[in-house]
Amino acid sequence: MVLQRLGHLLLATLLTLAISAYADDQPCTLHHGGNFYDLSPLKARKDYELDIEGGRKFYLNVCRGITTDPWNAGVSEGDGDIAGLIRRDHGDFAIGIVNTTLEMVEGGLMIRQFNGSPCKSMDNVRGSSSIRFICDTSVFAAGKPALIDKFPQNTDEACHYEFEWKTHFACPTGERGFLSGLLVSCIITAMIFLMLYTVASTLYNRFVLRLSGPQLMPKFTLQHAYELLDVSYELVHSLLDRFGVTSGSWRSRGRRDLNTASHHWVSREEERTVFASDSPEPDLEDAAPERELEPLNTQQDPESDHDEADGTVRL
């Protein structure tokens, strides 16, 4: 019964991992038209820098926030991580909050970012930007973004920016299928179970069987696996029982300990009962005989009676 439930749990875990691996909601990834796109390699520890007209500098990153510290950008930490900013005289201008959702627009990948710094020339409007990624196999590195347009055209009042980014990471790759995801999930799960079994078997041999030396090595046998499952089940049940998770209170059941000789859990009351039944009873034959009381001599000496009658006392 325990192995059957364990098998059902393992199967459900594998299916869940496979479905999650096949899902297309991973950050900066997209499944489209039988192809798989992944822009997560474009994340950089150091921001991408580019110079624009007027000597301004742009700091930009992809799929994560910028590492450059913003100054007077008008964006609070609760709004999210800043995707990029431009240095200005009276403070930095954020061009949007990080967005990891890819879109397929006119055959190319695009990321749109909103809720940046408040725009000076427009009320209730905040900075925004869009990055269009172009597949270019001739660019072996990550490539570099290029500013192609802004609105308004005034550099100090621009509120929306458009970039173009040529990189080979924007090229489609083979879409990861369900079977491949299931295979990867099976391999990862098997490795995890192998590590857990190795640790559990070593601890079992050391603290339960009291083995040492080379005998501590885990045993990969069916009988040994049954023993580990049995001890693990009783250990978990005892812990739940001790903290009152199962029916009844642990105070009413008493504290439980592991008997390393029989691999079973016994209570303190059971131990006292066993010890009481094994204690030797007193041997009646070896006990010292009780001292017999000597009978009282009720007969008196006739001469003493005669002397007492005459009133004479003999010394």
pLDDT at 148: 94
Indicate the average pLDDT of the chain: 78
- Yes or no: say if 67 and 45 are a contact pair by the CB < 8 Å rule: yes
Predicted confidence (pLDDT) at residue 125 exceeds the cutoff of 90: yes
What digits encode the pLDDT tens for the residues 189-238? 899 989 999 999 999 888 888 889 888 899 899 888 888 888 888 888 88
Q: So what's the pLDDT on residue 245?
A: 60
Of 271, 44, 54, the closest CA to residue 165 belongs to 44
Q: Exposed (0-12), middle (13-18) or buried (19+): which is 269, by Cβ within 10 Å? A: exposed
177, pLDDT greater than 70 = no
Does residue 136 surpass a pLDDT of 90?
yes
Measured CA to CA, the distance from residue 167 to residue 40 in angstroms comes to 12
Single out the residue of 147, 86, 151, 149 nearest to residue 125, CA to CA: 151
Residue 299 has pLDDT above 60, yes or no: no
User: What is the Cα–Cα distance from 132 to 151, expressed in whole angstroms?
Assistant: 16
Q: How far apart are CA 85 and CA 61, in angstroms?
A: 10
Cβ atoms of residues 256 and 242 within 8 Å: yes
Average pLDDT, integer, range 48-52: 92
Which amino acid is present at 307?
Answer: D
Q: Give the residue, 61 or 34, on which the prediction is more confident.
A: 61
pLDDT tens-place string over residues 265-279 = 444 455 456 556 655
d(CA 236, CA 224): 18
Which pLDDT belongs to residue 226?
Answer: 87
Per-residue pLDDT for 170 more than 60? yes
Residue 282 is predicted with a pLDDT of 53
Hey, what long-range contacts does 140-144 have (CB within 8 A, 24 or more apart)? 140/168, 141/167, 142/41, 142/42, 142/44, 142/167, 142/169, 143/167, 143/168, 143/169, 144/48, 144/50
Three-class secondary structure assignment of the chain: CHHHHHHHHHHHHHHHHHHHHHCCCCCCEEEECCEEEECHHHCCCCCEEEECHHHCEEEECCCCCCCCCCCCCCCCHHHCCECEEECCCCCCEECCECCCCCEEECCEEEEEECCCCECCCCCCCECEEEEEEEECCCCCCCCCEEEEEEECCCCCCCCEEEEEEEEHHHCCEECCCHHHHHHHHHHHHHHHHHHHHHHHHHHHHHHHCCCCHHHHCCCCCHHHHHHHHHHHHHHHHHHHHHCCCCCCCHHHHCCEEEECCCCEEEEHHHHHHHHHHHCCCCCCCCCCCCCCCCCCCCCCCHHHHHHHHHCCCCC
The CATH number of domain 37-173, selected from 2.40.160.60, 3.30.559.10, 3.40.1310.30, 2.70.130.10: 2.70.130.10
What is the domain partition of the chain in residue ranges?
37-173, 177-243
**Backbone phi, then psi, for 64, in 5-degree steps?**
-165, 165
Q: What is the pLDDT of residues 75-104, one digit of tens each?
A: 998 999 999 999 998 899 999 999 999 999
Q: What is the pLDDT of residue 9?
A: 58
Q: What is the pLDDT of residue 8?
A: 55
What's residue 195's pLDDT? 93
Tell me: pLDDT of 71 over 50: yes
309 pLDDT tier (thresholds 50, 70, 90):
very low
Highest mean pLDDT among 65-69, 255-259, 293-297: 65-69
Q: How confident is the model over 2-40, as pLDDT tens digits? A: 445 555 555 666 556 555 555 546 899 998 888 899 999
Q: Which segment of 68-72, 145-149, 281-285 scores lowest on mean pLDDT?
A: 281-285
